[in-house]
Chain A
């Protein structure tokens, strides 16, 4: 289903674990350095209310005076677990795109503010780069370097799976517990 900007609470609350979505609108990349900076009280250079943050450190090069995205898949999200929930609540983030899933703190924040975790296919940097139709800007490039900077991407039909929703459901938690049961059977002496 399509998920188009503006990313309202109503739209996010309607999404459920397992839904395939195609995101159209503006997303901001942000990973380790950005999350730590914001969590430490740094001022965000972009408006984060109702925004979607993309855990991504893209390959972007300048060609003929303009930015060209060469690769832009998701990075592992769990590293931002200490920061994501508080930032979601403080700024009213509506979603996070990443990979590998996040933990209980983020899940609780999704429930509270009405947000979702949107899982992109890790490693699929070309398919996802094709969905970036425009680079609107870059922030904090000097401080953090290119992969850690905040890139402002306009995306069209960016594919992702809802793996954590605003109703307290997490696909990651259910796969982890189901596979733990199989594991304990395999390891039975």
Chain B
């Protein structure tokens, strides 16, 4: 596949991610909408959310104007180098910004200048893994600033919360994070949680776990149980969509774990908004999109 074709396929991945929510996310939003009582602000918020999902797909325009941090996770076969992939992806990002699938969203942190094309130090984010498979797998997440700002990292023990170094301590941290977020992260949200790791890898893993399908079950039965419990408990808080009050505070909880050094015990929580923009495809060496990963 030549560079132009790779760029075109990546542009389509960006367009689809920015404009169309994957079916697993839509299913959970529909459940939330049905759960809320009629004539409430919560039901109204879900109504607007549902209209917006439909409109964005039809118009092929961004679901949310904050097209977020651009995070791409790539399983890279040997027919494309990291350098070539990055070059093609950056061109696709530049073009996506010009046509309005992405907002001009990358700002120099020292001068305050907007680069105008989403390119600059640290943008876009690409995580590479090598694969022996023939096809390339790329997953893309667009994570808006509102939800990123309500993410949180805890170092256990946390005496102010009464959270110790065990799963009960993890549970306390996660519920605290949901309560502190209120409606500011554009709930109902989805949590990615990492137990352990260091401060950097914990946050990275908390985002990677958001690449899972919403309706899968954790392979670890202990974490699977904790995910279900936290989802149920968070939904009794009554924060509701947009923080308007209501029965749907979260759409999902995904938990992963990393080994830690004996002295550290971090709990890292990434909050994803209802506009859970993540998609992915498998791309053959000839440039054919063999499969969309969340359909």
What is the interface of chain A, defined by CB distance below 8 A to chain B? 18, 20, 33, 56-59, 61, 70-73, 75-76, 78, 99-101, 119, 121-127, 129-130, 145-148, 159, 161, 163, 171-172, 175-176, 178-180, 182-183, 186-187, 189
- Is A57 a contact partner of B65 (Cβ separation < 8 A)? yes
Q: Which of B61, B62, B172, B182 contacts A172, CB < 8 Å?
A: B182
- Is B104 a contact partner of A145 (Cβ separation < 8 A)? yes
- Is B146 a contact partner of A75 (Cβ separation < 8 A)? yes
- Is A99 a contact partner of B186 (Cβ separation < 8 A)? yes
Tell me the bound Cα distance from A139 to B155 in angstroms: 45
Q: A59-B61, A178-B238 are in contact. List 16 more A-B contacts (CB 8 A).
A: A58-B103, A71-B64, A72-B65, A73-B66, A78-B184, A101-B182, A101-B184, A122-B183, A122-B186, A123-B274, A124-B52, A126-B63, A145-B116, A161-B45, A179-B238, A182-B236
Task: Report the 3 A-B pairs with minimum CB-CB distance, sorted nearest first.
Answer: A145-B114, A71-B65, A122-B186
Tell me the bound Cα distance from A107 to B146 in angstroms: 21
Given A58-B65, A100-B183, A122 contacting B273 (CB threshold 8 A): yes
- Is A71 a contact partner of B242 (Cβ separation < 8 A)? no
Which residues from chain A contact B23 at a C-beta distance below 8 Å?
Answer: none
Q: Which of B82-90, B105-113, B125-133 contacts A (4 or more CB under 8 A)?
A: B105-113
- Is B183 a contact partner of A123 (Cβ separation < 8 A)? no
- Is B146 a contact partner of A122 (Cβ separation < 8 A)? yes
Please give me the residue from chain B that is nearest to A100 by CB atom. B184
Taking the nearest CB of chain A, how far is it from the CB of B146, in angstroms?
4
B80 within 8 A of A: no
Tell me the bound Cα distance from A178 to B183 in angstroms: 14
Taking the nearest CB of chain A, how far is it from the CB of B261, in angstroms?
28
B229-246 interface code vs A (CB 8 A; 1 in, 0 out)? 000010011111011110
Total of A-B residue pairs, C-beta within 8 Å: 164
Tell me the bound Cα distance from A179 to B182 in angstroms: 9
Given A125-B62, A125-B65, A61 contacting B100 (CB threshold 8 A): yes
Q: Which of B56, B149, B162, B245 contacts A171, CB < 8 Å?
A: B245
Which residues from chain A contact B56 at a C-beta distance below 8 Å?
Answer: 125-126
Which residues from chain A contact B237 at a C-beta distance below 8 Å?
Answer: 179, 182-183
Q: Which of A18, A59, A72, A126 contacts B41, CB < 8 Å?
A: A18
Which residues from chain B contact A99 at a C-beta distance below 8 Å?
Answer: 146, 183-184, 186, 242
Which residues from chain B contact A76 at a C-beta distance below 8 Å?
Answer: 145-146, 149, 184
B33-57 interface code vs A (CB 8 A; 1 in, 0 out)? 0000000010011001101100110
Which residues from chain A contact B116 at a C-beta distance below 8 Å?
Answer: 145
Tell me the bound Cα distance from A64 to B52 in angstroms: 26
Tell me the bound Cα distance from A123 to B186 in angstroms: 7
Which residues from chain B contact A146 at a C-beta distance below 8 Å?
Answer: 103-104, 114
Which residues from chain A contact B145 at a C-beta distance below 8 Å?
Answer: 75-76
B67 within 8 A of A: yes
- Is A59 a contact partner of B63 (Cβ separation < 8 A)? no
- Is B49 a contact partner of A145 (Cβ separation < 8 A)? no
- Is A172 a contact partner of B243 (Cβ separation < 8 A)? yes
- Is A56 a contact partner of B65 (Cβ separation < 8 A)? yes
Which residues from chain A contact B242 at a C-beta distance below 8 Å?
Answer: 99, 119, 121-122
Please give me the residue from chain B that is nearest to A68 by CB atom. B100
Taking the nearest CB of chain B, how far is it from the CB of A3, in angstroms?
16
B222 within 8 A of A: no
Taking the nearest CB of chain B, how far is it from the CB of A95, in angstroms?
18
Please give me the residue from chain B that is nearest to A180 by CB atom. B179
- Is B48 a contact partner of A127 (Cβ separation < 8 A)? yes
- Is A124 a contact partner of B183 (Cβ separation < 8 A)? no
Which residues from chain B contact A171 at a C-beta distance below 8 Å?
Answer: 41, 243-245
Which residues from chain B contact A75 at a C-beta distance below 8 Å?
Answer: 66, 145-146
Taking the nearest CB of chain A, how far is it from the CB of B124, in angstroms?
17
- Is B49 a contact partner of A121 (Cβ separation < 8 A)? yes
Tell me the bound Cα distance from A119 to B149 in angstroms: 19
Please give me the residue from chain A that is nearest to B61 by CB atom. A70
Please list 12 pairs of residues, one from A and one from B, whose beta carbons are closer than 8 Å in the complex, sorted by A's number. A58-B65, A61-B100, A70-B62, A73-B65, A100-B182, A100-B184, A122-B273, A123-B49, A125-B52, A145-B104, A147-B105, A183-B237
- Is A126 a contact partner of B183 (Cβ separation < 8 A)? no
- Is B182 a contact partner of A176 (Cβ separation < 8 A)? yes
- Is A33 a contact partner of B112 (Cβ separation < 8 A)? yes
Which residues from chain B contact A70 at a C-beta distance below 8 Å?
Answer: 61-62, 65, 100
- Is A101 a contact partner of B243 (Cβ separation < 8 A)? yes
Tell me the bound Cα distance from A180 to B103 in angstroms: 36
Please give me the residue from chain A that is nearest to B234 by CB atom. A186
